[in-house]
Structure 1
């Protein structure tokens, strides 16, 4: 009999490359986590790749303006945020279309973003340059909506992962409905799995009652997914 060289407690198996089953599975789990982390870092490198010299505000050639001051005061004097056309175009196909064609935004050098607060716009522009954002529930929602509208996929994934990390039963149905509205597949899948694990509570949920009235299609899809899962099992 031989002991596992990693934990020195359990017998090792040749089929597990010289480790006991427990250590073998933990090592594989660590490898999978490292692979996910490495893939995330590669995606971030691709997102951040830019020609040299485009990070200095002194060379900005376009400004972005929010529709309000973050307090719902749409008549407040907007604060322009300087940016670079090349950065915006490389991050977002929507901005690229605006800036490559003779649209008002391209000619004036000012891009006005409706239905967005100054705080959200600042965070959005900061993310376009750094691939980092300070998130809370509200900011994650605002940035995910902007990411969907301007097709910034890396930011959308970033916000979805944050939202998934905050999922609990009490907000699962609300997040599922939100995810469906903004095509957030990662969040949608995670929320649906949590809902299906708590089907006995579903009909008692306040959001459920609202959805039955406003969007019964979503409720039907939840039941269909639940029944499909159990029929396969």
Structure 2
């Protein structure tokens, strides 16, 4: 899919050709890192996160490595948004809002579309930012 940004330049929204990580994300047994977000604990796999995000790579293995990589506290992201971010990292698809927020409404979709882009920006996930822009555009054009 091709998109034009505001400057008229073409941007491409193509699916990442890496296969989704067929690891059970929810399984804390096999995970090697946890994130605490708004009191909720999310289990994950360092290698999956590092392979998908240069920020996670630096945070988990590089110069920005956290002192405690067993449980990392995330302060400025809402728990459902972080869960959606992890879903994207594992499956390379925009998350189903109904599944993550438990709501099936335009409001819920708008909330996710507003907050997920900043999380994608924080972790340098360019394709997810483009997917979010597409969702926002679809929401706005469906209201016209």
State the TM-score, normalizing by the size of structure 2. Answer: 0.69
Aligned residues: 119
Change over 3 Å in CA distance of 1:59–1:85 after alignment to 2: same
Note if contact 1:120-1:139 (Cα within 8 Å) is conserved in structure 2. yes
Check if 1:139 corresponds to 2:112: yes
Larger Rg: 1
Change over 3 Å in CA distance of 1:165–1:95 after alignment to 2: same
Supply the RMSD in Å over aligned alpha carbons.
Answer: 2.7
Q: Which runs of 5+ in 1 are unaligned?
A: 1-35, 69-77, 172-233
Map of 2:62 onto structure 1: 101
Task: Using the TM superposition, give the Cα deviation of residue 164 of structure 1 relative to its aligned residue in structure 2, in angstroms.
Answer: 1.2
Map of 1:63 onto structure 2: 34
* 1:122 aligned residue (83, 87, 97): 83
Q: Deviations over 1:189-212 (max 9, x none)?
A: xxxxxxxxxxxxxxxxxxxxxxxx
Map of 1:44 onto structure 2: 16
Check if 1:160 corresponds to 2:133: yes
Task: Using the TM superposition, give the Cα deviation of residue 134 of structure 1 relative to its aligned residue in structure 2, in angstroms.
Answer: 1.8
Greater per-residue helix proportion: 1
Aligned-partner SS, 1:108 = coil
Aligned-partner SS, 2:88 = helix
Aligned-partner SS, 2:17 = helix
- For 1:69-108, list aligned pairs within 5 A: 78-101=39-62, 103=64, 105=66, 107-108=68-69
- Higher normalized contact order (CA 8 Å, seq sep 6+, divided by chain length): 2
After TM superposition, which residue ranges in structure 1, 4 or more long, deviate above 6 angstroms? none
Instruction: State how far apart, in whole Å, the 2-side matches of 1:62 and 1:103 are.
Output: 15
Task: Using the TM superposition, give the Cα deviation of residue 104 of structure 1 relative to its aligned residue in structure 2, in angstroms.
Answer: 5.9
Greater per-residue strand proportion: 2
Task: Using the TM superposition, give the Cα deviation of residue 40 of structure 1 relative to its aligned residue in structure 2, in angstroms.
Answer: 5.0
